[in-house]
Structure 1
Amino acid sequence: MYRKEFYLFDQHQPVRAVVRNYTKADFPELIRIQQESFPPPFPEELWWNERQLMNHVTLFPEGALCIEVDGVLAGSMTGLLIDFDPSHPDHTWAEITDDGYIRNHNPNGNTLYVVDIGVRPSFRKLGLGKWLMFSMYDVVIHKHLTRLIGGGRMSGFHRYEKAMTAEQYLDSVIKGKLQDPVITFMLRCGRTPVKVVENYLDDEESCNYGALMEWKNPFCTDNNEEVL
């Protein structure tokens, strides 16, 4: 199981943080984190429920991570393993995550797929999302996987939908001409774009588009064999 202890800085003040696997005892707070992290117009039916969380901690506990700050649960990140084929990348969030229930988790998969990441707004100035992402990279390396991948909501696209395509929007974000709350964050975490996916998620802000973003295991070669 995973546990990493370190200090963050709130301006000049060190604060103690822990990234660890979440458990059943954390479920009420994890649901509250979802509600705070993804307010309307994000669909509330996509917030976690206890059945989904129970699957996370039983089917793939290594991919169920949370972060505490001074003992307060402040964010979480969830993944599952899939056998990803780069030549057929198109999918929806619902089909590849089993609507968040991850009953399709493949213990022999080659890729860690990010189901969800969320941080309470009151803690976002501490960079907790990046720490969660880096911790999930640790899981990728520990389990000898080829990559981490997942779709990012292009949450700023609705403001530009009439002026450009989703592909042009993503390209503008990558070039630094535009800033997107989700995609820019992923770029800062070392994720790189694979492609735009249409009808990825029922989400007004991204006009239902998602940007598939990956992080490749640096200990793997291009032919997916681990470097020993």
Structure 2
Amino acid sequence: MYRSEFYVYDQDRPLPVCIRNYTKADFDQLIEIQSECFPPPFPEELWWNKEQLTNHVTHFPEGALCVEINGELAGSLTGLCVEFDPNHSSHTWEEITDYGYIRNHDPIGNTLYIVDISVRPKYRKLGLGKLLMQAMYHVVIEKGYDRLLGGGRMPGYHKAADKMTPEQYLTAIINGETKDPVISFLLRCGRVPLGIAENYLDDEESHNNAVLMEWKNPFK
């Protein structure tokens, strides 16, 4: 199981941080984090429920990570293992994550697929999301998977949708012409775009689009 303890800096003040696997004792805080991270118009029914969280810690506990600061959960990152063929990459979030229930987790799959990453707004300037992602890269290497993969929301796209296609919006981000709260963050984490996934998730801000983004295991 995963546990890493270290410090992050809040301006000039070091804070003790622990990244570890989450358990049933964390469920209430995990649901609270979802409500803070995905307020309306994001659909409330897409927040975690306790049945989903139970499946996460039962089917693939190695892919259920949280970050804790002074006894409070500050964020979480959840994944499952799937068999992914880059030549047939079309899918929706519901299809590949089993609607977040991960009953389709494949213990012998080749890809660690990210179901969700969430960090409480008050902790977002501490770099915790990137640290969680790096922790999941450790899982990819330890398990010998080919890659880490996931669909990144495009929450800034609705502001530009009347002027550019999703593909053009992604190109503008990569060229440094615009920034997106999620896609720019994932680029800073080392993820590489594979393309646009249409109708990926019921997400008004993204116009239901996402960017499939990969991190390849450098030891494969």
Q: TM class, shorter-chain normalised?
A: over 0.9
**Is 1:8 aligned to residue 8 of structure 2?**
yes
- SS for the counterpart of 1:213 is strand
Q: In the alignment, which residue of structure 1 is the partner of 2:133?
A: 133
Q: In the alignment, which residue of structure 2 is the partner of 1:198?
A: 198
Normalised by the size of structure 2, how large is the TM-score? 0.99
Q: In the alignment, which residue of structure 2 is the partner of 1:89?
A: 89
Q: In the alignment, which residue of structure 2 is the partner of 1:175?
A: 175
Q: Which runs of 5+ in 2 are unaligned?
A: none
Q: In the alignment, which residue of structure 2 is the partner of 1:108?
A: 108
What is the aligned-residue identity percentage?
66
How far is 1:10 from its partner? 0.5
Q: In the alignment, which residue of structure 2 is the partner of 1:224?
A: none
Deviations 1:136-155 (A, max 9, x none): 00000000010000000011
Deviations 1:181-224 (A, max 9, x none): 0000000000000010100000000000000000000101xxxx
Paired AA for residue 218 in structure 2: P
How far is 1:125 from its partner? 0.9
Q: In the alignment, which residue of structure 2 is the partner of 1:185?
A: 185
- SS for the counterpart of 2:56 is helix
Paired AA for residue 40 in structure 2: P
Paired AA for residue 111 in structure 1: T
Deviations 1:19-48 (A, max 9, x none): 000000000000000000111111111000
- Stretches (4+) displaced over 2 A: none
Paired AA for residue 198 in structure 1: E
Normalised by the size of structure 1, how large is the TM-score? 0.96
- SS for the counterpart of 1:67 is strand
State how far apart, in whole Å, the 2-side matches of 1:97 and 1:176 are: 31
Q: In the alignment, which residue of structure 2 is the partner of 1:39?
A: 39
How many residues align structurally? 220
State how far apart, in whole Å, the 1-side matches of 2:129 and 2:39 are: 17
How far is 1:70 from its partner? 1.7
